[in-house]
Structure 1
Amino acid sequence: MDRLRNVIVLLRGQLWIIPLVLSALALSLAYWVLTSGASFLEVRDVGGFWWLYGGDASSARDLMSSLLSGLMTMTSLVVSVTFVILTLAANQLGPRLISTFMGDRQIQTVLGLFLGTILYVLVVLRSLDETLGVEGVPHVAVTIGSALTVVCLFALLFYVHKIARAIIADSIVARVAGDLHNDIRSMLPAEAKETEPAIPDLTRPRAAAVSLDRSGYIQVIDYDRLVTLACRADAVFAVKVRAGHFVLKNGEHVVVHAGRPLGEEAVQGIRAAFVVGGERSSAQDLEFGLRQLVEIALRALSPGINDPYTAIAVIDRLAAALEEIFMRSLQQAVWRDKEGKVRVIAQRADVQGLADAAFDGIRQAGQEIPAVLIRMADVLGQLAPVLRSGQAQTAVAQHLGKLAETATEARLAPSDRTAVLRRIEQARVATATRPKEGSIHVV
């Protein structure tokens, strides 16, 4: 399922898929209307319907030519505006967020509607011959082409509205945060419980270390396949990397604990369980969405942009994501076979690492901006009701300590430093008491 989800994630980021599908549907519609659909949609009395085209072949050809010219102009405008928006987004929000724009289904649908309509009008135009006369003109086909053009006009209006909303930083933050919440719900179990500690089976000696033999970002690890391979070899696999890590060609990526060395077929099977690509994917990488939000905040806090309000909006979304993470169990780290024997021990993201990925970069970039430090202290204090585990409580306490150290050493006005330290102390008091189990209602 993770492999399939990774493929879906990669396909959703492709701009051409929905336009290609809509173009194929438009060509199919044109072919059907001009061939078998002609008899099915035949209208005896053309003048009886005001909305149905009733002109001759010459007029129909002129009409289709005008529609085609206008559609080409509108499509050029849409494509030009799209490239401008992508350029602005890359400069202000980060180049890695371009995939978010490209994966927007509404933008893809508008582009596909324009391309499909152009292809439909072009096919109908080729079928129009001035010698057809009034009876031989495909009235229904011309009418459909006119209707599709009208739809494209309204789609252009919607597209302008969509693009105008897309360049607002808060909209992008909300969009990325929504994708992050979807990833959290799909990757983490809904019920919060203590995860099994990833302790290797020390009764088995170390037999070998397997490298992935290729470099790139790990996108997906097929742990079920590794369990099957470990059962065949009667071994325990300790996976030293996880989704989101960049690996080199050589290294101890999987350590094998077994009574005998692995064969070449088993080594190739282990390597086949890893999907390595040129970019990170959100299929198994829980930090992917966190780092996208952090990148927006870091861009906002850069001297060239200097927009702390966007960074504060990101901090709010990060706190909401951590709240949901703290209310759930972490990713599975130990896999057993049917007999209960440990077969695979994985390296997965922990609470401390997720909190560090969310707040460290923003705290470092905004160390001289009191509003950012105060907001970070406030949201850490607001996480108090969901600190059900000792790990979560320790992670929040450590970040409050880092904030206090930053506020003490940063170049701040004495009044600002006092305000920041006071809010940090309030957050410490709020998070000092760990809530009782069952005190939180998990939906």
Structure 2
Amino acid sequence: MLFRRIYRLHERIKADWRLLALVSYLLVAGLTTALHLVRPGDAEASLDGFLATLAGILTSVVVTTFSFVFVALQLASVQFSPRIVRSFFEYDHFSRFFLWSFLACVAYLLGLSYFGWSGATLIYPKFGIVGGFYLLLLVFPLFIHHVITSINASSITRNIAQRTIQEIETLYEPAEAESWSTEVVLVVAKAAGYLEAMRYQTLYALFPAAPDVSMRVRFHIGSFVMAGAVLAEIRCPASRRAFYDDLVPEIQACFLIGRFRSYEQDIPFGIRQLVDIAIKAISPAVNDPTTALNCLDYLGAIIRKAALSDMTSREAKLLQQKNIAIREFSFEQLVDLAFDQIYSWGKDDYIIVRHVVKTVDNVVPFVQDADKLLVLCRQVDDLELQYLHTDPAVFRSEYLPGTPFLRREHRNSLRNYLDDFYEAVIAQIEALPRPDEALERKKAEYTAFRAALGLES
């Protein structure tokens, strides 16, 4: 949490070029004074060569860095919009600070040599040297991180939205807001962004245990939250409302809202990234189905781990002791997130569809919960491939118009993978100690599909 606080302080300083310049000047001036006191320097020594070398290094860094920046911006403008190039310099204080501070330092170093103020006993060249190393060792790495962050799609859309919202606030007066209900205490978001994580332990220690008081969190981790949106609501007796009203600022601090989603506590975020890679890989522009298959393999590994886990987290169980209910993704939501969109974009490619079936088939032997097994069954059933078993023309006709897969070879391949899935589900149902009625019906259905083709065991 200390690193997060330092990072947020750094972001606040970086947002205002005046504050950034002041902090930088004070740091360099303080370090220069300390250096001058510790090492006064030799009266006969000159720092001309050192100043010229440092000025050359700074110049090379600026030229090389902005060459790469312009290439990156050009690629980003092609992908998003050509107007983001202008926005990068016009509204980005840190980028302008980086450019002008490097140029100013180079001019200062060359000016010292030109006017003869390069003696080792003088404080002026030391100020330039410390400033140069400050730019190279601190500002330059931060600028690289800043550029990588700034050309991210989430940062671009966030900055555009923030500038537009600020313009609305400038032009229009706020409308009269309706009063909140007095029945509950509402915890609202101070700013818009993604709910990166929650400080569960802090919330648990902060919230008093009372049988007649409860708190319900409205958003999943990873959800986008608008400014002013209700993060949580606290139901309490009217006599204690004032106490919980005073507690709201501390509860707000337990909700970490930022510009990006985070791996911390956000399981669907990893799934979302693999799905995005797979979708882009099977697009006509990229046409790389092997990458999509790799993504499906690892999505299967994630779903397998989820199938073997209790989907109520340790933090949720802890907070339930104090009547705090948080929202978490169910196993069914994770399965849908992992496979639905890939199938939607790749449903005309029998390789993709076949691998979706195979991936779910690989997970089935690990599922010991009846509800989770039904989720996997529904996932494959929703692919609507049952006609491969029920329609005799499917395996007789060499070319079958009106179906997603025209060639018999492709249909037979899919049918074989479906058979493997049905067989695995039937075996897993039989292995369960007490399968429920829904699973027994699913077993009878899958047995009938296999029997239609003489494939039952």
TM-score class, shorter: 0.5 to 0.7
Distance in 2 separating the partners of 1:390 and 1:299:
34
Distance in 2 separating the partners of 1:368 and 1:25:
58
Q: Secondary structure at the match of 2:339?
A: helix
* AA aligned opposite 2:293: I
Number of paired residues?
358
* AA aligned opposite 1:321: I
Q: 1:416 Cα deviation (Å)? A: 1.4
Q: 1:124 Cα deviation (Å)? A: 4.6
Q: 1:367 Cα deviation (Å)? A: 0.8
Distance in 1 separating the partners of 2:101 and 2:308:
46
| Partner of residue 379 from structure 1, selected from 359, 364, 368 | 359
Residue 73 in structure 1 maps to residue 63 in structure 2: yes
1:363 to 1:264, Cα distance in 2 relative to 1, 3 A: farther
| Partner of residue 273 from structure 1, selected from 212, 232, 251 | 251
Matches within 5 A, 1:278-427: 281-282=261-262, 283-330=264-311, 331-332=313-314, 335=317, 343-405=323-385, 411-413=404-406, 414-427=408-421
| Partner of residue 433 from structure 1, selected from 428, 431, 440 | 428
Q: 1:401 Cα deviation (Å)? A: 2.2
Q: Which has the higher contact order (CA 8 A, sep 6+)?
A: 1
Deviations 1:212-261 (A, max 9, x none): 556966614565637864634723445454334457868896484x7778
1:280 to 1:136, Cα distance in 2 relative to 1, 3 A: closer
Q: Secondary structure at the match of 1:399?
A: helix
| Residue number in structure 1 paired with 2:116 | 131
Q: 1:387 Cα deviation (Å)? A: 2.4
| Identity in percent | 16
Distance in 1 separating the partners of 2:260 and 2:304:
24
Q: 1:366 Cα deviation (Å)? A: 1.0
| Residue number in structure 2 paired with 1:103 | none
Distance in 2 separating the partners of 1:69 and 1:44:
28
Q: Secondary structure at the match of 1:263?
A: helix
1:120 to 1:367, Cα distance in 2 relative to 1, 3 A: same
Distance in 2 separating the partners of 1:135 and 1:260:
73
Distance in 2 separating the partners of 1:324 and 1:363:
21
Runs of 5+ in structure 2 lacking a partner?
85-93, 149-181, 389-401, 434-457
Q: 1:307 Cα deviation (Å)? A: 3.8
1:134 to 1:74, Cα distance in 2 relative to 1, 3 A: same
Distance in 2 separating the partners of 1:144 and 1:56:
10
Q: Secondary structure at the match of 1:433?
A: helix
1:303 to 1:133, Cα distance in 2 relative to 1, 3 A: closer
| Residue number in structure 2 paired with 1:168 | none
Distance in 2 separating the partners of 1:412 and 1:242:
39
Distance in 2 separating the partners of 1:328 and 1:240:
23
The answer as to whether partners of 1:377 and 1:427 remain within 8 angstroms in 2 is yes
| Residue number in structure 2 paired with 1:187 | none
Distance in 2 separating the partners of 1:363 and 1:301:
10
Q: 1:343 Cα deviation (Å)? A: 1.8
Report the structure number with the largest CA radius of gyration. Answer: 2
Runs of 5+ in structure 1 lacking a partner?
47-53, 96-107, 164-206, 438-443
The answer as to whether partners of 1:242 and 1:348 remain within 8 angstroms in 2 is yes
| Residue number in structure 2 paired with 1:195 | none
Distance in 2 separating the partners of 1:347 and 1:131:
68
Q: Secondary structure at the match of 2:209?
A: helix
Q: Secondary structure at the match of 2:220?
A: coil
- CA RMSD in angstroms comes to 5.8
